[in-house]
Amino acid sequence: MQRSDGSVVGIGYGGDGGDGGDRKDIVLSILIPTYNESENIPQLLRSIRDGLHSLLKQLDAKAEIIIVDDDSPDGTADVAEGYSTSIRDEGRLSVKVLRRYGKRGLLSAVLDGLKTAQGSNVVVMDADLSHPPALIPVMLDELMHDRCDLVIASRYVDGGSVENWSMKRKALSISANMIARMILNLDVKDAVSGFFACKRWILEGIEFTTSGYKILLEVLVKVDNIRVKEIPYTFVNRCHGKSKFSTKIAIEYLRAVWLLYRYGRKRRRGERRGSVLFLSRAARFYTVGATGLLVNYGSASLASMLTNMHIATLVGILCSITSNFILNKLWTFEDTDLAVIYTLKQYSYYMGLSSVGGALQFLLTYLLNHIYGMQYNLALLIAIGLASTWNFLSNKKWTFKERIWG
């Protein structure tokens, strides 16, 4: 099969020897990404068959296993195809082997598998027997009885655990999970589980934007109002083959959390009412302005000990403009785009617009006081009010690219 991105994907079918059977009969697609798992495949397939046997019989339904292999040098795909006939279970279970060329990653393997999946429910799991196949019928049962929409096999609920992991790997997993739960505000115990089941439409409705390991994380962040259930299991470290976990994957993970955090924030922002947003931005902007006075005074006093008065005044002004800019970017306007060139450009806009504000204040005070004979203090107050309003609105629009209202 020739794909739009130019790569070639081959699919081999086994088990029921055809198109996987009548669509409406398939209650479950088990998506398994593989890379060098030939030693684990036989036991994996047998355990899945044995685990599902009675439930499929009782439901009079079919299930399919979709192995998505990235051209493993150890012949994983061939081994899987070789076993497909022996696990047919009277035609109730089929094995599709999707061969991709080049090692292209876990997430995209699952998504490619999903494209060919026909079951109304899907399970995503690893091939290395770390995820006990005996749990699959329990998960399916939950979904079939409509007790929830997503079942997470969880290491961190009561009764769940991890066996034979090094302290380092344990610590990594626990911190990865903590980071995700806190930053993304998730109400599940094992947000980074690689073993879960859900209705197929849930996965199909998501536009996945991160790469790497964290399929479940993206589901939890992007799908609203689904009923999630966690069931405990013991993660057993693989006996055969090697884990593909690496520093690169850890970095990709942090990037994924960051992207999902931004995604969530954008969405929440979209939900907020314009008036609420405008007022909260204004309140923050003026608070930052007040801190700027302190920074201005503090840094100028410090500088005056080292240099002459004029330079010290200038230092004070520069320091307060800079600290105001940083606080306004990160806090007032919640701008998370920290690209250097972009930020410098914003900084120069900020300086420019604030200088216009300064000039405006100067001019207004002069006009009101000298020409209209207004009392100096009152003139100053009005000028500061107008200049800071200019600063807020113009920076909102041009520096931080927001609409004036909202």
Residues 40-79 that bind ligand GDD (CB under 6 A): 68-70
Partner whose footprint covers residue 299, from ligand GDD, Mn ion, none (CB < 5 to 8 Å by kind) = none
Q: Please pick, from the candidates 29, 34, 328, 361, the single residue that binds ligand GDD as defined by CB under 6 A.
A: 34
With beta carbons less than 8 A apart as the criterion, state whether 220 and 257 touch. no
Query: Half-sphere exposure (CA, 13 Å, Cβ side) for 272?
Result: 16
Give 76 or 296: the residue with its C-beta nearer to ligand GDD: 76
Is residue 319 a contact residue for ligand GDD (CB under 6 A)? no
The kind and range of the H/E element at 204 are: helix 200-204
State both tokens at 355.
């200088």
Quick one: DSSP state of residue 111?
Answer: H
70, interface contact from ligand GDD, Mn ion, none, CB < 5-8 Å by kind:
ligand GDD
173 binds, among Mn ion, ligand GDD, none (CB under 5 to 8 A by kind): ligand GDD
Which entry of ligand GDD, Mn ion, none binds 29, CB below 5 to 8 A by partner kind?
A: none
354 binds, among ligand GDD, Mn ion, none (CB under 5 to 8 A by kind): none
Buried b / exposed e along 152-185 (16+ C-beta atoms within 10 A): bbbbbbeebebeebeeeeeeebeebbeebbeebe
What is the DSSP-derived secondary structure letter of residue 4?
A: T
Angle, alpha carbons 50-53-54 (nearest 5°)? 125
Quick count: other Cβ atoms within 10 Å of Cβ 257? Answer: 22
**Judged by CB under 6 A, does residue 325 bind ligand GDD?**
no
Considering the rule CB under 5 A, would residue 39 count as an interface residue with Mn ion? no
Q: Residue 33: which of Mn ion, ligand GDD, none does it interact with, CB under 5 to 8 A by kind?
A: ligand GDD
Q: How far apart are CA 156 and CA 26, in angstroms?
A: 31
Tell me: does residue 392 bind ligand GDD (CB under 6 A): no
**Interface region with Mn ion, contact rule CB under 5 A, candidates 122-130, 203-211, 228-236, 390-398:** 122-130
User: Does 230 interact with ligand GDD (rule: CB under 6 A)?
Assistant: no
Q: Which residue is nearest to ligand GDD (CB)?
A: 194
Q: Which of 16, 64, 89, 128 binds Mn ion (CB under 5 A)?
A: 128
- Binding ligand GDD (rule: CB under 6 A), the pick from 51, 105, 137, 316 is 105
- Give the nearest distance from C-beta 129 to ligand GDD in angstroms: 9
Strand partners, 161: 234
Q: How far is CA 103 from CA 8, 35, 135, 188, 244, in A?
A: 13, 8, 28, 31, 11
- Residue 130 engages Mn ion in binding (rule: CB under 5 A): yes
Task: Identify residues 210-269 at the interface with Mn ion (CB under 5 A).
Answer: 243
d(CA 289, CA 65): 61
Query: Mapping DSSP to helix (H, G, I), strand (E, B) and coil, where does residue 219 land?
Result: helix
* DSSP letters spanning 225-287: S--EEEEE-EEEPPSSS-----HHHHHHHHHHHHHHHHHHHHHHHHHS-HHHHHHHHHHHHHH
With CB under 6 A as the contact rule, the residue among 156, 213, 333, 350 that binds ligand GDD is 213
* Interface ranges with Mn ion (CB under 5 A): 126, 128, 130, 243
* Interface ranges with ligand GDD (CB under 6 A): 33-35, 37, 68-70, 103, 105-106, 109, 126-128, 130, 173, 192, 194, 213, 243-245
